[in-house]
Amino acid sequence: MKKFNYVLLFAALFGSISLTTKAQTGIDTLKQGNLTLGKIKMNNQKVSENPLFVYPNPASKTIDIRLNVQDNKGYYLEIYDNLGMRILFQVWNGKMLDVSSLSPGVYLLRLHKEQESYTQKLIIER
């Protein structure tokens, strides 16, 4: 499970990748899907849109984080660096976030609660 999470992290940071999985249904079948930033596609069908908006992006001092879902309460905010190390973890308050302490680079911003998780690439420039 941990290895798969790293694959998703790098896909979100650096663009899209292709995933190949095998499912057993009496006869081995091979299913392919594409994972792209903001959208997940399986067998050429759009499964979900990413309702997470981060702006400005690229950012230098502060960012505004918007989550377009019915109930946006109770989410946790995480930021990961390009090595997959979590550098920020806090309860998301729905307000602006100060990112002035982050070094310039590419990060992964994640909002999650229970079974829901939304990610977005964050670029810090100065």
Query: What is the percent of the chain where pLDDT is above 90?
Result: 49
Contact assessment for residue 63 and residue 54, using Cβ atoms and an 8 Å cutoff = yes
**pLDDT tens-digit readout, 62-84:** 999 999 888 888 999 999 999 99
> What confidence tens digit (pLDDT) does each residue in 11-35 have?
555 554 444 444 445 544 444 544 4
Classify domain 50-124 by CATH architecture.
Sandwich (2.60)
Could you tell me if residue 4 is left (phi over 0), alpha (psi between -120 and 50 degrees) or otherwise beta? alpha
Distance CA 63, CA 22 (A): 40
Domain regions of the chain by residue span: 2-48, 50-124
